[in-house]
Amino acid sequence: MTIRLGLACVLGLVMATIGSTAFADGGQTATLRPLCTDRPTKSTSPCTVDAGHVQVESDLFNVTVDRSGGQTTVTWLATNPTIKLGLTDTLDGEINLAPLVSVRTRDRSTGQVSRVSGVGDLSLRLKWSLLGESGGPVAVGLSPYVKLPTARVGVGNGAVEGGLIAPVNLNLPAGWSLVIDPEVDVLKNAANDGRHLNASGLLSLSRGVSKTLTLSAELWTDRDFGPGATRTQVSADLGAAFIPVQASNWQWDGGVNFGLNRQTPAAQVYLGLSHRF
């Protein structure tokens, strides 16, 4: 039932996408704001999609290697689209569902291998731009989200979870940009006996090195206040984004994330593509 709900929501948003193209015509392209995505790296930008337009941001592939807890787990995402619909010039609605997630786990002490795959969890999000959508040195947003359990056990944890991100973007001298992303989440306890808080944050520094290429470097940390054990993850993330001069509604991107402690996945590598309609 939950998987059907997730797929139904995706279908509904696709239908909304088709309908929205009726008033998101090519004549408006010249008046659109510069393309702004939540990729690459883990950062969330305060920017929203222009009213009446649809933006798709997706991994083409994404692989994560985690060597914690005596196991080596390799997780593959075969695409991971986020579809955004501009509701107003300062508010958009977003939906994310990975159609195929593959998880391979190997116990390093016994050599035993297990595999599980299926559709991922469904995430629904709003993003509201509070300041700076039309330009300026500072931009601030709010982005509440909820995750619905459309994934099978082993791919997801079978729980409704949610949280709030408050992204801040600072335009610095010499073309540099700094994103600060404080986030708080309410997550399921591992023992399935309640909920607990999780807090994360990052500093993401980026700069355009040409008219088409932007490079990013990021430090990310996450603190899980689960009962009985607090877990801290830290990573250093590098990303690059390419927007062609003659196709300013397209973006290619890629990146790699390096875990800086044993509780963080050792590495994550991804390649992505975004397009605004």
- Residue 9, in any domain of the structure: yes
Q: Are strands 161-165 and 82-88 parallel, antiparallel or unpaired?
A: unpaired
Say if 32 falls within a structural domain.
Answer: no
- Interior/surface letters 192-203, b for 16+ CB within 10 angstroms, e for the rest: eeebeebebbbe
Element spanning 76, H or E:
strand 71-77
pLDDT tens digits, residue range 53-94?
999 999 999 999 999 888 999 999 999 999 999 999 999 999
Report the domain count for the chain: 1
173 domain-assigned: yes
17-64 pLDDT tens trace: 444 443 444 444 558 999 999 999 999 999 999 999 999 999 999 999
Please give the residue range of the domain that contains residue 131.
2-27+37-276
Q: Is the dihedral of CA 83, 121, 236, 93 positive or negative?
A: positive
Contact 162, 184 (CB under 8 A): no
Q: Give the sign of the dihedral formed by CA 234, CA 145, CA 123, CA 17.
A: negative
Total length of the chain: 277
pLDDT per residue as tens digits for the range 169-179:
999 999 999 99
Q: Find residue 253's DSSP bridge partners.
A: 241, 272
Q: Is residue 106 part of a domain?
A: yes
DSSP H or E segment with residue 200: strand 195-208
Neighbour count for residue 104 (Cβ, 10 Å): 14
Name the residue with tokens 């800086």: 260
Residue 125 lies in a domain: yes
**In terms of pTM, does the model score above 0.85?**
yes
65 CB-side CA count, 13 A: 6
The answer to whether the beta carbons of residues 32 and 26 sit under 8 Å apart is no
CATH code assigned at 245: 2.40.160.40
